[in-house]
Structure 1
Amino acid sequence: MYQASEKRLFSHRLRDTNSAFLPARAAGTAPVRVGFVLQPHFSMMAFTAAVDALVTANLVHSTPLFTISSYGLDSATVCSDLAIDISANHTLDELPLDGDNALDVVVVCGGFRCDLSEQGLLSRKLRLAARRERVLGGLWNGAVALAHAGTLDGLCCAIHPDNHSFAKERFSRVEISSRALEANSHILTSAGPSSALEMMLLLIERLHGTDTVRAIREILSSDRLADSSETRLALAENDPALPRPLRDLLRLMNSNIEEPLSIDELASYAGLSRRRMERLFQTHLQATPSRYYLELRITQARRLLLQSDTSIANIAVACGFVSSTHFSHCFKDFFGVSPSQARQLRRTGAHE
């Protein structure tokens, strides 16, 4: 794995983009073990949204943050709401809550056509998980199973609107929320696919902080719809939270990677004083313009290096470096290895 070089650190925007490729930190705690209980006719979209958040969390770190397993109620093959059979890793009776392999998080996956009656074994497992202070989650109407187990008594939960009437009638000690997502100290519930993603991002943020979630969002929300309903890539230059003059400067930088503009040229093209430009970068991106420009170019170089077979010399030219030697030194300062070493590590699966 990469050996750390502390000469250069990315500013927060580009640190998220490059986080999976930065030098590995010292080993921390073991990965969080997350188990999904798949009820027959579970929502495939809600399930995959939740799993995608966890898988992407692993991808943006050099060491895995989560392990993921799935459990069918009484069979290892579970039919989803799309009439597609999914092979679970285990059956519910094998769901571990004690010992070295005990789950840290148990998420019940519901769906529009899921049976809302109580499943005895599932209730017993959920009650045991609650006693062991595991984190519990419910997707779509997965909160119904949590309510049957008594784990939601006195709490507020999110559930699909189609099931509100049933839940209010059946569970008098549970408050049914009008919100799509509810989170308590040990229980999180969501009402559909979009909120399933947000629920898992909230869990990840609690465990691993906002930087990790920001990196995940950058990957999963790359084609989000803007308020105008126009599909725009989620690049910094399209971020409406940034001032328009700064976005204009970022577009100029992105459009001039191979032949970088000078700082004075950038300021002139954007109609700003150099001092005003520097304040914008420091305030919103926590970097000087020249530093951010370098980070942008080294990030582009990293992508070309790991996603293509283009020669290192050509990548250096394409990203505005005066020589391969200069590029190699800059790359190693940021990523802890030379470009050739990074390419070799990628090919041998060091980041897998």
Structure 2
Amino acid sequence: MTEQSKTTNAAPRRFVFVLVEGFTLLSFAGAVDALRIANRATGRRLYDWTIMGEGGQTATSSAGPSFKLDGDLGELRRDDTVIICSGVDVQTHCSQKLLNWLRREARRGVQVAGLCTAAHVIAKAGLLNDKRATIHWENHDSFSEAFDEVELTKRIFVIDGNIMTAAGGTSSIDLMLKLIADDHGEDVANIVADQQIYTSIRTDRDTQRLSVPTRIGVRHPKLSDVIQKMEANIEEPISPSILASDVGMSTRQLERLFRRYLNRSPKRYYMELRLQKARNLLMQTDMSVINVALACGFSSPSHFSKCYRSHYDTTPYRERGSHAGKSEV
């Protein structure tokens, strides 16, 4: 099939954007604008879209601006593609009404996508069981604890059958460019990317976060290897001696390496990684403090509380309480 024939004599494909309170503005805007530009660049109505949400009135983004909705959650056409847009505090805003509606529409054959944290909504609806998915890296830990039946990846976006997930930020653009290319050819997708000044189109093989060397600002292969092992083994921490042995160093050499490049000991750096995960779980899940401690490699709740207070100047219990208060506002 030629590029020309792929873009003719076809009815517009309709996308239904569902805005959940606290949705991420960048993800939503990037996706919608890709569709707008595809229409403008080709001079044809390749895509239609509508914006829905619970209540059918307005939805407010995490950045502050509110959007007028075209309608409440209603029955869709079977050839629609539903895109759930969510962001901060997705657990709080994931209502039973939304879940029931999503399950019903999925049973009718509607294609479903989720941007940023919306994989949580789709998984909660039971649509990601035994499927591959992705979610914003900041929510990776909490999602893994809540939905162990989902094969969670760190990809930019994932398409598994009739379900699509994108990690948030500009990854929504990558997903839409993929769909545009599938629908109307790569030439059209490339035109859209050029219009968005999007010079490096990523695929579903690309990962979300910067590489370890880029993140820490140090290009030392052995240091990077150790940090990767630390990040992959939070629940059952590996001793510094084993970490050192795995990269062909002595424990003393590893200590010097961390001091030189990161100004802290391997033990301290590892502890900070574990405490960061603990903070994410406290703020994003309803796991008990004891279970959070265990998930982050602390066998004693008292030791966990002591380490947490030393690092964050508050206790795990107060952290959770203060966040819950903010979420209810």
TM-score scaled by length of structure 1: 0.52
Q: Tell whether 2:31 aligns with 1:55.
A: no
What letter matches 1:180 in structure 2? I
Q: Are the counterparts in 1 of residues 81 and 113 from structure 2 also a CA contact under 8 Å? A: yes
Structure 1 unmatched ranges of 5 or more? 1-11, 225-352
Letter in 2 for 1:49: G
171, 181, 197: which one pairs with 2:157? 181
Name the structure 1 match of 2:90.
114
Q: Tell me, what secondary structure is at the counterpart of 1:154?
A: coil
Distance in 2, Cα, partners of 1:180 & 1:34: 20
1:29 partner SS: coil
**Over 4 Å off, 4+ runs:** 24-27
Residue of structure 2 aligned with 1:97, choices 76, 87, 90: 76
Go from structure 1 to structure 2 and tell me whether the alpha carbon gap of 1:118 and 1:220 turns closer, same or farther (over 3 Å shift).
Answer: closer
Closer, same or farther: CA 223–202 of 1 in aligned 2, 3 Å: closer
Amino acid at match of 2:76: L
Matched, 1:191 2:147: no
Q: Aligned partners of 2:198, 2:153: CA distance in 1, in Å?
A: 30
Q: Cα–Cα, structure 1 residues 26 and 106, in superposed 2: closer, same or farther, change >3 Å?
A: closer
Given the alignment, which residue of 93, 114, 118 partners 1:142? 118
Report the equivalent of 1:131. 107
Q: Counterpart of 1:28?
A: 9
1:218 aligns with 2:201: no
- 1:29-84 per-position Cα deviation (integer Å, ceiling 9, x unaligned): 21001001100010011100011111111112122111010112124211111111
8 A Cα contact 2:6 2:185, kept in partner: no
Match in the other structure for 1:40: 21
Matches within 5 A, 1:290-329: none
Aligned equivalent of 1:349: none
User: What are the superposed Cα offsets for residues 174-229 of structure 1, whole Å, 9 maximum, x if unpaired?
Assistant: 111122211123221111121111011111122222121111112112677xxxxx
* Deviation digits for residues 226-253 of structure 1 (CA, Å, limit 9, x no counterpart): xxxxxxxxxxxxxxxxxxxxxxxxxxxx
1:68 maps to amino acid: W
**CA distance change for structure 1 residues 117 and 87 in 2, over 3 Å: closer, same or farther?**
closer
On the 8 A contact 1:157/1:177 being kept in 2, the answer is yes
Q: Deviations over 1:91-128 (max 9, x none)?
A: 22x3x324xxx551000001133335642222222222
Cα separation, 2, equivalents of 1:214 and 1:25: 15
Asked if 2 retains the 8 angstrom alpha-carbon contact of 1:116 and 1:144, the reply is: no
Is the CA contact (8 Å cut-off) linking 2:79 and 2:111 kept in structure 1? no
Higher relative contact order (CA 8 A, sep 6+): 1
Query: Taking structure 1 as reference, are residues 190 and 126 closer, same or farther at Cα in structure 2, changes over 3 Å only?
Result: same
Q: 1:116 to 1:179 in 2, by over 3 A?
A: farther
Q: What is the CA distance between 1:129 and its match in structure 2?
A: 2.6
User: Among 31, 50, 57, which residue is 1:69 paired with?
Assistant: 50
Q: Hey, what's the Cα distance between the residues in 1 that align with 2:13 and 2:7? A: 17
Amino acid at match of 1:66: Y
Judge which range, 203-212 or 115-124, deviates more: 115-124
- Contact 1:34 / 1:103 at 8 angstroms: preserved in 2? no
Kindly provide the amino acid, as one letter, of the partner of residue 67 in structure 2: I
User: 1-side partners of 2:20 and 2:81: how far apart?
Assistant: 17
Cα contact 2:19–2:51 (8 A) shared by 1: yes
Structure 2 CA distance for partners of 1:222 and 1:188, relative to 1, 3 Å: closer
Q: For 2:159, give the aligned amino acid.
A: A
Q: Which runs of 5+ in 2 are unaligned?
A: 201-329
SS of the residue 1:193 aligns to: coil
**Comparing 110-119 and 208-217, the one that deviates more:** 110-119
When the two structures are superposed, what TM-score results if normalisation uses the length of structure 2? 0.56
Q: Find the counterpart in structure 2 of residue 205 from structure 1.
A: 181
**Shift in CA distance, 124/43, structure 1 to aligned 2, threshold 3 Å:** same
Q: Distance in 1 between matches of 2:87 and 2:19?
A: 10
| Structure 2 CA distance for aligned equivalents of residues 222 and 70 of structure 1 | 25
What is the rounded CA distance, in whole Å, between the counterparts of 1:26 and 1:208 in structure 2? 5
Q: 8 Å contact 2:7–2:184 — kept in the other structure?
A: no
Distance in 2 of aligned mates of 1:161 and 1:74: 30
Amino acid in structure 2 at the alignment position of 1:45: L
Task: State the SS of the aligned residue for 1:173.
Answer: coil
Q: Distance between the aligned counterparts of 1:91 and 1:151, measured in 2?
A: 21
SS at match of 1:91: coil
Check whether the contact 1:108–1:142 (CA below 8 A) recurs between aligned residues.
yes
Question: 1-side partners of 2:94 and 2:27: how far apart?
Answer: 21
> Aligned letter for 1:192?
G
Q: Is the alpha carbon distance of 1:117 and 1:89 closer, same or farther for their aligned partners in structure 2, counting shifts above 3 Å?
A: closer
Query: C-alpha distance in 1, partners of 2:101/2:26?
Result: 25
Separation in 2 of the partners of 1:26 and 1:164? 38
What is the percentage of aligned positions where both structures have the same residue? Answer: 30
